Structure formats: C-alpha cells, structure tokens
Amino acid sequence: MKSKDEIKKIAEEYISNNNIEYSSLTEDIEEIKLIEKKEIRHGKKEGEILDVYIYNYAQLWGIEERGFGLYIDAASGEPLYIITPHGYLDI
C-alpha cells in the first residue's frame, strides 16, 4: 500500500501534468483519507472492491470555491476518477 506522502506526490503530479486548474490543494497529508474495501462506482475499475485514497483540491467557480476528490488506488497509486460537484470525471 502506498503511503500518504506518495499519494500526495502522485495526485499533485497528475493535477499538474493534466493542466487541471485549482485554487487550493490538500496541504496536510493527514487530510488525505483512506477508505478500505470501497466498491468502485465509476471508471475503468467499476464494480471492483479496492482500498482507495481520496485527495481533495478545489477550484473557483465564480465567487465560490468548490471541492473535488481525486480517487487513487491505494495499492498501485493509479488515479481512478475525480468526484465533482456534479458527478464524476473518468480519467
């Protein structure tokens, strides 16, 4: 299983490499959440049961900041999908 430090690095590289705009990123690694045995409901691993980390970041939408959650496979470090205020983004 990847460490929270590794997940933070993976998430920030993914955000940077894919030119995702953001207004804030998770600074404290203790805010990165681990969920064990989660059924994956979206994307390429839909239906599988995996341990996942959720890395949060925010974007400005007009005058308000909205949160997004980047789901990352805890074992492989593979980004799975992004939860948005209106659904999810397959990656």
What's the angle, vertex CA 26, arms to CA 58 and CA 20, rounded to 5? Answer: 45
The whole-number pLDDT of residue 74 equals 97
Question: In 3-state terms, what secondary structure has residue 66?
Answer: strand
Task: Please compute the mean of the pLDDT values over residues 68-90 and round it to a whole number.
Answer: 93
What's the angle, vertex CA 76, arms to CA 71 and CA 81, rounded to 5? Answer: 25
pLDDT at residue 91 tops 90: no
Instruction: Name the residue ranges covered by the structural domains of the chain.
Output: 4-90
Q: Phi first, then psi: give them for residue 22, nearest 5 degrees.
A: -150, 155
Contact 89, 79 (CB under 8 A): no
Q: What digits encode the pLDDT tens for the residues 18-76?
A: 999 889 899 999 999 999 999 999 888 999 999 999 999 999 988 899 999 999 999 99
Cβ-based neighbours of 27, under 8 Å, separated by 6 or more: none
pTM over 0.75? The answer is: yes
Class (C level, CATH) for 4-90:
alpha beta
Q: Which residues pair with 79 in a beta bridge?
A: 72
